[in-house]
Amino acid sequence: MGNSTCFTDLLKLLIITLCATAFFSNVHAADPDPLADFCVADLSPNAPMVSGYACKPRSDVSTKDFVYTGFRKAKDAENITQAPTGAIVDIAGPKVWPGLNTQGLTQARLDFAIGGLVPLHTHPRASETSLVIKGTIYMGFISEDNILYASTLQQGDIILFPRALMHFQLNVGNETAIAYNTLTSQSPGLLLVASQIFRPNLTAAVIEKSFGIDAATVKLLKESFPGHP
């Protein structure tokens, strides 16, 4: 009886272990796990590139490959104000910060004029956090069941945008604003919602019926996007 009970317990433990192994083996991050502690991107013109960058020879790697100073300089206020939505986004990926290669990360600096907006967009391959460095920014995302999760953030506050969900950032303060964002992929992708809908040569009837608007409104919206068909 004792041996039978012991065998049954061991069998249960084995089944649980196998199930857990199968579950976790199918859990993946946005990017594959690196095969080495680091792989500094080889940005030389003749370096092969398939998915990501080839590794720079270890003997050529230095500390500067892991340090990025491009966010130090403040953006010109006039340039920010003249940007189409009053916001400028600087991206730091492996192309300018070689040490990021294979680490599954991208950094960004966002500079906002008063009233500046980073419009509704998604990153299909990454989750994202946004840390307010200066100012007051209204940020939020929309879930798959059409619920808005949004808040007004102050300096030092941080928000999470789940992977692939539409999100936005709007400066609602009376001064310029800055945010630093981290994305969980070195190639997060970017889909600007309005541009995705109104810039391509999408049949007007599709847009009309999707949004419940008439042909004249569709035409007007399409004409507001440079390079529209």
Annotated binding site: 121, 123, 128, 167
DSSP state of 93: -
Write down how long the chain is.
229
Burial of 167 (0-12, 13-18, 19+ CB in 10 A): buried
Which helix (H) or strand (E) segment is 221 a member of? helix 215-223
- CA-wise closest residue to 35 among 129, 107, 128, 101: 101
Q: Which residues are annotated as a binding site for Mn(2+)?
A: 121, 123, 128, 167
- CA-wise closest residue to 99 among 68, 69, 128, 126: 68
CA pair distance 143, 161, nearest whole angstrom: 10
Q: Which residues are annotated as a binding site for oxalate?
A: 123, 128
